[in-house]
Amino acid sequence: MAKVTHEFDLYGKHYVLEAGELAKQATGACVVKCGDSTVLLTAVVSKERKDYDFFPLTVDFIEKMYAVGRIPGGYLKREARPSEKATLIARMIDRPLRPSFPEGFRNEVQVVATSLVADQINAVDTISVMGASAALHIGGVPYEGPLACVRIGRNSETGEFLVNPTYEERDHSDLDLELAGSATFISMLEAGAHEISEEDMLSAMAFGQEAIAAFCEEQKKFFEKWEAVNGPIEKREYILDEPIPEVHERIFAHYDEMSAALKDADKQSRMAKVADLMETIKAEFNEEEQEEWSRAIAVELKSLEKHAMRVMVVETGERVDGRAADEIRPIMVKPDYLPLVHGSGLFQRGQTQVLSICTLGMLNEWQRLDTIEPVDGKRYIHHYNFPPFCTGETGRMGSPKRREIGHGALAERALLPVIPSEDEFPYAIRVVSEVMESNGSSSMASTCGSTLALMDAGVPLV
């Protein structure tokens, strides 16, 4: 295996894709650079298929403090649990990768992004998706690629769109849009903005799709160079969970019953009806069939529920609780919900209920961040908690999971543009959103609850 390097310039920045020197025992590995920022992406696929009814993909982003010439804090002086930012980057890599694998793929896949250099000018998050895509392709892993991710900014003075803007350019941008996908499809997007128009957002998305296509084209050139030096990339053979026609036919014969069960407006009642129906369907298979086809039965039952729900929405325009696609559930708000706390608000939309509490502190109580980004800390903090009781379940309580970190960051990002400046409001601000009930869109309910709590605390939102 010989080292292959592909250098290219796009949208005013210099990029490098490199493979064949580091981590050669991984299924696939690639080093990706933007400026001096450097990330190593490795992908490893287990040789044996696991007995799962889901795709076991794990993505980790490892922040190394040596990347910015710093020694980690704390007694041990080594990297410990991932920072919030590292978790968000891992989720960013995961989202476009997961749907690109073939249906029925059950081998464990682990993608690890390790920051080697962070030049404090160019971010390492978006380029990590391109590196992961390249590592999978070089490793002969079957996925629908290449894939890429771009950040689209917009100069607030000139209105010019920017691809992968530097940290300094982002400070003068009224848009922060991340897009990921293939040359023709977008599979992930997330954005923060200063109240830009819908037309401008659509223009930014179209511009971002063009940029993604350009990065995918450069990956193809890199793969051509690789094959010219190291020979054709052989696609590895993996056994997929193929549908069993008889199982599919017998389960989907209950489509009308599933469709009727999904139309119950009450979440708990609907879940109970669906669960009872699934048990009834499963009981139609004898013991030998259940043992032989256990995984296929579980997969087809999920597929039946998914298909019935999709048909309702796409073909009839009706959602599972009987609402039209543009119909909003009943909304109830109660500001000043708790005594003594600085600010609070209860927001309820249908069976989704969030209690948000705002606490103000001195400026020296802001959150200090120990990351590889050129950011010392943040003054506005939003934390999102999703305990198991909010869905009527039991479960582990403890440190926040990836989903909670992601949803907390989403709601924080939504309100950050309207938080007053330090000069206008010299306080640290922390909002905690406690999800009391969940029946969809608790992250947006936490955004609404946060607004109530902030206003109740006297924060002059701009």
Q: Answer whether CATH 3.30.70.20 is correct for domain 331-456.
A: no
CA-nearest of 173, 174, 198, 176 to 189 is 176
Mark 361-388 as b/e (b = at least 16 C-beta within 10 Å). eeeeebeeeebbbeeeebbbbbbbbbee
Give the pLDDT confidence of 347-380 residue by residue, as tens digits.
999 999 999 999 999 999 998 888 888 888 899 9
Task: Give dist(CA 115, CA 356) in Å, integer.
Answer: 35
Query: Angle 223-107-231 (CA atoms, 0-180°, nearest 5)?
Result: 25
Closest by CA position to 416, among listed 119, 186, 195: 195
Token readout for 161 is: 């769109």
**pLDDT one-digit tens code per residue, 322-347:** 888 888 999 999 999 999 999 999 99
| Cβ-based burial of 196 (10 A; exposed 0-12, middle 13-18, buried ≥19) | middle
Which is nearest to 285 in space by CA: 248, 314, 259, 322? 248
Most distant pair of Cα atoms in the chain: their distance: 72
Q: Distance of alpha carbon 342 from its chain centroid, rounded? A: 32
Give the DSSP letter of residue 299: H
Residue 162 CB partners (closer than 8 Å, separation 6+): 11, 152, 153, 154, 155, 169, 173
Q: In the predicted model, is pLDDT for residue 298 greater than 90?
A: no
Token pair, residue 116, equals 């080697």
Q: What is the pLDDT of residues 95-143, one digit of tens each?
A: 999 999 998 888 999 999 999 999 999 999 999 999 999 999 999 999 9
pLDDT class of 48 with cuts at 50, 70, 90: confident
* Residue-range domain boundaries for the chain: 4-230, 253-316, 331-456
pLDDT of residue 80: 83
- What phi, psi does 325 have (nearest 5°)? -60, -30
State the average pLDDT over residues 53-78. 90
pLDDT, residue 128, reads 97
Q: What is the pLDDT of residue 54?
A: 84
What CATH fold (topology level) applies to the domain 4-230? Answer: Ribosomal Protein S5; domain 2 (3.30.230)
